[in-house]
Amino acid sequence: MKLLKNSKGYTLMELVAALMVTTAVFGILYGVYRYTNSLYNDNLKYNSFTYDAIQLAKSIEKNLLNAKKITEISNNSIRFQKQNGIYGNITFEDDRVTYNSRPMHSTSVVVSHFDIGVLQSSCNMSWNDITSVSSCDLNNDGVLTLEEITKLSFLKISIIVKNKSDTVRYVISNSLQK
């Protein structure tokens, strides 16, 4: 009896070897996919956090730039009059910034530092000469009134916003001489 040889197919060992190589390639590709996906998600969270922090700073900046006059400054609040005569009040309380007692930002944004500095009117002073509000307070009541504000030239607000792992610092400067 004569056995027929079929040399057109693959042996079992060749199929197992091909399957192992294919599995290794797909395993590496899956690892790269997971790593890339985690980087994307981390960047998405950071960009969302940064966007919220910048929106907070820009809304403060917009209110101050559109103000007709700033009427009162303390270490944690700024009161101003808008062009239409309505008064606004930006206040830093605990880890929140409020505008007329309403939160100015989402709950995901935690303001860890809010600092208001002022620059007295003088031609030869630099940004290094920015002082705290209390150093310009003539009657030591903790609040700069309109009379005291007229002697100042610039207002600088420094905001540090944090979440679990990231920090954003934003500085707003505004001329008080309009």
What is the per-residue pLDDT for 28? 97
Residue that the structure tokens 């880890």 belong to: 95
Where residue 4 falls (left for φ over 0; alpha for ψ -120 to 50; beta otherwise) is beta
Per-domain residue ranges of the chain? 26-175
Using 50, 70 and 90 to split pLDDT, how confident is the model at 124? Answer: very low
Give the predicted TM-score (pTM) of the model: 0.66
Determine the average pLDDT of the residues in 51-78: 84
What six digits make up the tokens of 60? Answer: 């403060």
Dist CA 57 CA 63 (whole Å): 10
Least confident of 95-99, 103-107, 131-135: 131-135
Dist CA 136 CA 172 (whole Å): 19
More reliable by pLDDT, 18 or 173: 18
What is the per-residue pLDDT for 77? 86
User: Which H, E and C letters describe the chain, residue by residue?
Assistant: CCCCCCCCCCCHHHHHHHHHHHHHHHHHHHHHHHHHHHHHHHHHHHHHHHHHHHHHHHHHHHHHHCEEEEEEEECCEEEEEECCCCEEEEEEECCEEEECCEECCCCCCEEEEEEEEEEECCCCCCHHHCEEHHHHCCCCCCEECHHHHCCEEEEEEEEEEECCCCEEEEEEEEECCC
Asked if residue 19 has pLDDT above 70, the reply is yes
More reliable by pLDDT, 77 or 119: 77
Asked if residue 130 has pLDDT above 80, the reply is no
